[in-house]
Amino acid sequence: MEAAVQPKRITQATGADRPLSGIRVLTVENFIAAPFASMWLADAGAEVVKIEVPDGGDFARSTSPTKPGIDGLPSSLSFLRANRNKKSVTLDLKHPEGKRVFKSLAAEADVVLENLRPNVMDRLGLGYAELSRINPQLIYAAISGFGHGDIQPSPYGDLPAFDIVGQAMSGLMYRPERSGDRPVYLGFSLADIQCGNLALHGIMLALIHRARSGRGKKVDISMVDASLVLNEISVTMYSATKQVAPPGVHAVTAPFGAYRVADGYIVIAVIGEHIWKRFCDVIGRPELVGDACFDSGTSRREHMNALNAHIDAWLDGKDRDEALGLLRAGGVPCATVNDVADLFDCPHVAARNMLMQLDDPVWGNIHVAGNPIKMSDVPEPESNVPPLLGEHNRDVLRDWLGMSEAQIGALREQHAI
């Protein structure tokens, strides 16, 4: 079971060995989308300071399931998923002193990242226009449901959104196979994490642009846009054919799906006639290559019942290892269909260090998804547990702004931190 688990620390290398060492990131973030982007920035060596409201912090801290934390506040598994290697500073951004401190921090930052509703930061006097005036080199990245109005406004720009909204509006929920007519939520934070991916991408583009021009940029990520990109094949095929592919069926080819074997399911993926020929050879039916019903990906898709009958006959009595062994030997893309428990025994997951262990004081040894970006001569990310609320108030205010203990104490007395 432990074969796939990444050791707590692969290396003792410092942040200086990482590509974003020296980059300072200030976040105003909740839940999943922006926290995933900033977590990957932190994994790459950036100093990520998470600005949280003093009364409870990031909403993910109190999202179930929770346990009582060592600081008396809820400790949530959701918060563990996306906040390793960060620092936490509490600031009341509605308080005049809280705003002043935030602006001072932004003046020292390379990146500000937020996923509040559009215009919230502007109403606080802390949006891109104000912060870029203070720090013209600042990169300001914003994630929202429908995007910000100052770049390409959406008619839905002011509406709130969660992951399921992005999946629904982008057409993704129509795609999975289902029983009945009810569309299916994919069951995980696909739209949120895709937003995090694209925010990370946009921030890196802006950093490169700044290195060349000396100027900052605003990066605007819409959850619906980010999700639509994942549904791009449906867009292109519908544009060409004006036909909507049935749920659960690949838009352009077959076989491309899950098939039952004696001990579970495998997937078979045939794209291109060269792989179709290999597949026919593997299953002992080379004559199917010349069958007019199967002479292209779309024709095979149109005759799925007949095609599946041939495949099911070949798989009859075979277990996963036998079927996958024959398909792989023949050069046909295939895999077992894992459940989450299988990931802890998967040789690939172990080899790529894709399960990271966090030694959390409340939850114990908890495994989270590792970092999928692997680079030569760069150590695996550290596995520092997510911060307690306000854990780094003193350190950050001292190191970034040179504040004294008396100044920090005054902010505390004013309830600004």
Helix (H, G, I), strand (E, B) or coil at 380: coil
> Is 192 a catalytic site residue?
yes
Which strands form 264-269's sheet, in the order they lie side by side?
256-261, 264-269, 334-336
Tokens 């290398």 identify what position? 13
- Cα separation, 108 vs 49, whole angstroms: 12
Pick the catalytic residue from 43, 58, 92, 192. 192
- Cα separation, 224 vs 175, whole angstroms: 16
Apex CA 408: angle with CA 117 and CA 384, to 5°?
65
Q: Are 218 and 128 in contact (CB under 8 A)?
A: yes
- Cα separation, 407 vs 66, whole angstroms: 34
Sign (positive/negative) of CA torsion 335, 340, 342, 348?
Answer: positive
Active centre residues (catalytic): 192
